[in-house]
């Protein structure tokens, strides 16, 4: 498997990347949360890993920040969320390597419930 998306899902995502100028805006910042925490929110992924996922959400800081810009309180809450909520709700937490991140300037983790 070379992609976690189906061919249809991959094509839809590639078309989006061609038409959107991601250098001037962040598509994650304005998304309404499925669930909110203090420093973090969970959002729907518009381009899910539909090859493997029944549900595909993303966890990201409310504040627009890269991984290197996260503050101590954000890290502490992230660890609490991972240890409690995420373990009870999701099958996998996936983080892309830097080479594969299409939005590296807003840190996010992929939350998967498998098919």
Q: What is the mean pLDDT of the chain?
A: 91
**Residue-range definition of the domain harbouring residue 82:** 7-114
In a domain, 97, yes or no: yes
Q: Which of 54, 55, 25 is nearest to 42 (CA)?
A: 55
In a domain, 2, yes or no: no
pLDDT digits over 55-73, tens only?
A: 999 999 999 999 999 999 9
Which DSSP letter does residue 27 get?
Answer: T
| Range of weakest confidence among 8-22, 59-73, 82-96 | 8-22
Q: 22 with 29: CB under 8 angstroms?
A: no
pLDDT band at 18 (very low <50, low <70, confident <90, very high): confident
pLDDT band at 41 (very low <50, low <70, confident <90, very high): very high
CATH code at position 85: 3.30.428.10
């Amino acid at each position: 498997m070379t992609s976690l998306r189906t061919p249809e899902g991959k094509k839809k995502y590639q078309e989006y990347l061609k038409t959107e100028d991601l250098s001037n805006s962040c598509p994650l910042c304005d998304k309404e949360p499925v669930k909110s925490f203090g420093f973090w929110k969970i959002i729907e992924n518009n381009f899910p890993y539909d090859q493997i996922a029944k549900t595909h959400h993303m966890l990201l800081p409310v504040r627009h920040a890269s991984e290197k810009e996260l503050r101590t309180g954000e890290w502490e809450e992230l660890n609490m969320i991972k240890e409690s909520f995420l373990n009870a709700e999701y099958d996998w937490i996936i983080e892309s390597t830097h080479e594969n991140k299409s939005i590296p300037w807003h840190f996010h983790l992929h939350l998967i419930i498998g098919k």
